[in-house]
Structure 1
């Protein structure tokens, strides 16, 4: 789910890149599944788990984690997960690079149908097969950001159909976080003086997660006196990272976010 060129860019800067998987909703909700798994991964890194893995492999045995410079980056739902490592944890990450993260859940947008997307012509019985998947899956069958393993388009199985249906109908949060205890999961409601420096990268034409949702977070960061950066990508919609061409205009604009992150690391 992460663009290979972005991973290569990070590695070229001398960074250790960890791309964890997490359990998927709706069998677990957003907090119990994705956020908890991301936070467990962070705890594992801080407790020396990653160093142990590196030292046990001949090709990485000379590398060690700089515990003072652990940062988080993610796109879309991954952006929200990166931001979740800035609050509700014993030791937050040093900085966050958020690409069009899905946040600000109390906004009416999340309960509105999306004109840019149509629900697939499938039955409720078909999409609800996701509740029967065992064990709880960590892969969803559709790659929106990275590179698919096949040139053929993926078949519309129950899980992708489930996601597309609820996104289109504005009912995604009803099934992924029915308690609606937004304080527990929404970074917009958890910005305080200990929140890490944050850079937000967002496409100006995003219809899936409108740019104004991120702007609310940016304003909250400013009110709290948090170091922040805002990068708009002209002409791009949601998940643009998955289709951008390395060396193109969009590549150059979004790369400013990684340049910002590098400056945070060097502080």
Structure 2
């Protein structure tokens, strides 16, 4: 059973207090032992979700490997654009770790010492969190040692990102929503760092959208209409190619593993194939597995020991090999 996390604030900006959940593995008896750190970033199309909406089974698996798992929140779009909100927060978060703040917090809160191995900090995320993990690989003074990306949003030049998604539209009210109702997300202050749903585990009743909430309605409307990029990175925020990992990979990019379902309707697998092609072209150490029959956001619904679990788990085994 997953232990209860410790929680602390790693950043405060314009009254938004941004927290991180910290899960600790069983303590090694050696006084010289240091612990690798996995940054686990939640999904939610950059507009939804929070740190408790991640796979606890995956956290347990990582704790069994002797890793500290940290699950940060970040400010949600559209109150802040992608670059100056989520990306900035995650870059500040990894700097918080490298600056000794994680270890300092643990020394104060945990009587048994946990020393952080800052040479073995890894980044992992699902969907939008996969993008944010990849975004730590460029324009970051001290990138992670390795990145694991589950079906992350990439390759923004692809025409898919401007296409409506009929299977999402089918779940919205036929009449849509009043524009004034949707615009209420821009009035939220401070900018929220959590929302009631993510896009992971939509089969769970507790994670169904509530269209009486402007944020749920706004986010699902953007996804359905093919306007997510306009919502999270509006005109004037910058150039999409400057933040797209497909455009920013160089030979110095961290080793990267990609996991993607071959039946994904929210982020088609061909987008990850393009990223993989670019990684290989730049001679970055990389691998990719395609999970047969899986649509988007399968991480929370996996059966431990099942085919999807075993296939996707190869990513964590690969991380373990990289940091040894």
Quickly name the TM-score band, shorter chain normalised: over 0.9
Separation in 1, partners of 2:210, 2:285: 43
* Partner residue, 2:186: 131
* Partner residue, 2:227: 171
- The answer to whether 1:183 aligns with 2:241 is yes
Distance 1:217 1:151 in 2: 33
> Which position in structure 2 is the counterpart of 1:68?
119
Q: Does 1:49 align with 2:104?
A: no
Equivalent pair of 1:71/1:94 in contact (CA under 8 Å): yes
Q: Deviations over 1:7-49 (max 9, x none)?
A: 1111110001010000000011000000000000000000101
Q: CA, structure 1 residues 85+163, in 2 after alignment: closer, same or farther (shift >3 Å)?
A: same
**CA–CA distance in structure 2, aligned partners of residues 115 and 154 of structure 1:** 17
The reply to whether residue 94 of structure 1 matches residue 139 of structure 2 is no
Structure 2 unaligned runs (5+)? 1-52
Match 1:5 to one of 57, 70, 75:
57
The Cα shift of 1:146 comes to 6.2
Per the alignment, do residues 139 and 149 of structure 1 end up closer, same or farther by CA in structure 2, a change over 3 Å counting? farther
Partner of 1:122: 177
Partner Cα separation in structure 1 for residue 134 and residue 154 of structure 2: 9
Q: Deviations over 1:43-82 (max 9, x none)?
A: 00001010111111125x4111111111100000000000
CA distance in 1, matches of 2:74, 2:320: 26
Deviation at 1:126, TM superposition (A): 1.4
Q: What are the equivalent positions in structure 2 for 1:9-20 lying under 5 Å apart?
A: 9-20=61-72
Aligned-pair Cα RMSD in Å: 1.8
- Please say if 1:207 is aligned against 2:207: no
Q: 1:130 to 1:152 in 2, by over 3 A?
A: closer
Task: Name the counterpart of 1:29.
Answer: 81
**8 Å contact 1:2–1:146 — kept in the other structure?**
no
TM-score w.r.t. the length of structure 2 is 0.78
Query: In 2, are the aligned partners of 1:3 and 1:146 still within 8 Å (CA)?
Result: no
Task: Report the Cα offset of residue 107 of structure 1.
Answer: 1.1
Count of aligned pairs: 265
Greater helix content: 1
**1:40 maps to which of 92, 98, 112:** 92
Q: CA deviation at 1:149?
A: 10
1:143-158 matches, cutoff 5 A: 143-145=198-200, 151=206, 153-156=208-211, 157-158=213-214
Distance (whole Å) between structure 1 residues aligned to residue 318 and residue 301 of structure 2: 22
Contact 2:156/2:241 (8 A) holds in 1: no
